[in-house]
Amino acid sequence: MIFFTSDTHFADPRVLRIDRRRFSNMAEHDAALIETWNAVVGDHDDIWHLGDFMSVKGGDCDELLGRLHGRKHLIVGNNDPETTTSASRWTSVQHYREIEVDGLHLILCHYPFRTWNKMGKKSINLHGHSHGKLKPLPRQFDVGVDAQGLMPVTLAQVISKQGRAQGFVPH
């Protein structure tokens, strides 16, 4: 399976205040995100993290990645320090990627776009960065934890949940 997530902000206490995540401290926050990640992602699944993985104050990124299931791909976000982007346990690291999933062309970036490649041919923009606060364009979906119940999601889940509200029909 292929999963998507973004904006976990491990070890970044700003998310408790700014995004009003329901945890009393970062240890509780990080443990809950690790638990929800591992509850849905298996060791042989691919997971695309669309940026803002962890704070530079979070310690060893490779140690944290080792605790999370799946083959992890990073799309770099604005809060991903070099200690995150250079970690050896990422399967891949890039700023932007286009992939095909379930016959659909996906545009992956940390940032939401106003327009994107093959937009007129029904491609889909998956992004993070906006923490569930941005009104999406048609075929544009925020996969960040704040918009997705604090857990990674499949493309089918995103389309089922948000696509209906947009009137999206996959094919």
Domains in the chain: ranges and CATH: 2-166 (3.60.21.10)
Give the pair of three-digit tokens for residue 75: 């799309």
Question: Which candidate, 42, 53, 41, places its Cα nearest to that of 151?
Answer: 41
Query: Does the pTM exceed 0.95?
Result: no
Q: Are 50 and 158 in contact (CB under 8 A)?
A: no
CA 142-30-33 angle, 5° bins: 45
Give the pair of three-digit tokens for residue 140: 């544009």
Question: Which candidate, 167, 148, 169, places its Cα nearest to that of 158?
Answer: 148
pLDDT tens per residue, the chain (171 residues)? 999 999 999 999 999 988 888 899 999 999 999 999 999 999 999 999 999 999 998 889 999 999 999 999 999 999 999 999 999 999 999 999 999 999 999 999 999 999 999 999 999 999 999 988 898 889 999 999 999 999 999 999 999 876 555 555 554
So what's the pLDDT on residue 63?
Answer: 97
So what's the pLDDT on residue 169?
Answer: 55
Give the pair of three-digit tokens for residue 24: 């009393």
